[in-house]
Chains A and B, each alone.
Chain A
Amino acid sequence: EAQVTQNPRYLITVTGKKLTVTCSQNMNHEYMSWYRQDPGLGLRQIYYSMNVEVTDKGDVPEGYKVSRKEKRNFPLILESPSPNQTSLYFCASSFRDRGHGREEGNEQFFGPGTRLTVL
């Protein structure tokens, strides 16, 4: 089954304790992205990756790191979590748009979400 998986789904941690949220997709997608969702603010993009070893900042990258060593995996790293990073996190993937006029097949597929609480 084609899917994006995230782990863990729920996490409660304390300030300053490094954590990693994993994201994996089995659709051979080049593009992967992380979002956070907060009440009243909608979904905001944290980081994205166009392909292996290619990552770039989204709207709210502060306090986060990512890596893309393999095509299927795109982990989100919080080196020193703080309470303001308490949020619902989504990973997404899609084929990369090749700019051939009509976009084909580059809808984003989202994971089930990770609810993170930082105390």
Chain B
Amino acid sequence: DAKTTQPTSMDCAEGRAANLPCNHSTISGNEYVYWYRQIHSQGPQYIIHGLKNNETNEMASLIITEDRKSSTLILPHATLRDTAVYYCIVRPAMGNQFYFGTGTSLTVIP
């Protein structure tokens, strides 16, 4: 299964867009990119997922490069409540296993 690489930590000013990158250079054609986040030690929360097209929902936007080897999660107007660890996961369609990795710790600064 494809693995992902994310920066260990990032800062973002409150009210600005937070752009969280993820590399998944070994992704296969049927593998989806998922993003979850975890606030403190709570259970992770689903954010968004996509295959090859860019996706947007009420929480975030997901931009996937044309070669699908990397993606960026965008939080358009970061708030203090967005401070969390963000996980980028690659998972095949009908895949049963999830590899969360260690994620990116995002700190939103007032």
B93: chain A residues within 8 A (beta carbon): 97, 99, 101, 103
Chain A, residues 47-89, CB within 8 Å of chain B (1/0): the string is: 0101000001011000000000000000000000000000010
A107 to chain B: closest residue by CB: B46
Interface residues of A in 9-35 (CB under 8 A from B): 31, 33, 35
Closest approach, in angstroms, between the C-beta of A73 and any C-beta of chain B? 17
Which residues of chain B from 9 to 46 have any CB-CB distance to chain A below 8 Å in the complex? 32, 34, 36, 41-46
**How many residues of chain A get a CB closer than 8 Å to chain B's CBs?**
33
Nearest-neighbor residue (CB-CB) of B36 within chain A: A108
Q: How many angstroms from the CA of A3 to the CA of B31 in the assembled complex?
A: 27
Are A4 and B43 interface neighbours, CB within 8 A? yes
- Give the residue of A42, A101, A109, A112 whose beta carbon is less than 8 angstroms from that of B42: A112
Q: A42-B102, A103-B32, A103-B49 are in contact. Are A56 and B96 (CB under 8 A)?
A: yes
What residues on B are CB-neighbors of A58 within 8 Å? 97
Q: How far is the CB of B60 from chain A (nearest CB, A)?
A: 13
Chain A at the B interface: SS class: strand
User: Which of the four size classes fits the interface of chain B?
Assistant: 20 to 34
| Chain A residues within an 8 Å CB radius of B45 | 110
* Residues on the A chain within 8 Å of B49, using CB: 103, 107
Bound complex: CA of A50 vs CA of B95, how far in Å? Answer: 10
Contacts of B44 in A (CB 8 A): 43, 90, 92, 108, 110
**Contacting residues, chain A, for B96 (C-beta < 8 A):** 31, 48, 50, 56
B98 lies within 8 A of A45 (CB): yes
Q: Report A's interface with B, CB cutoff 8 A.
A: 4, 31, 33, 35, 37, 40-45, 48, 50, 56, 58-59, 88, 90, 92, 97-99, 101-103, 107-113, 115
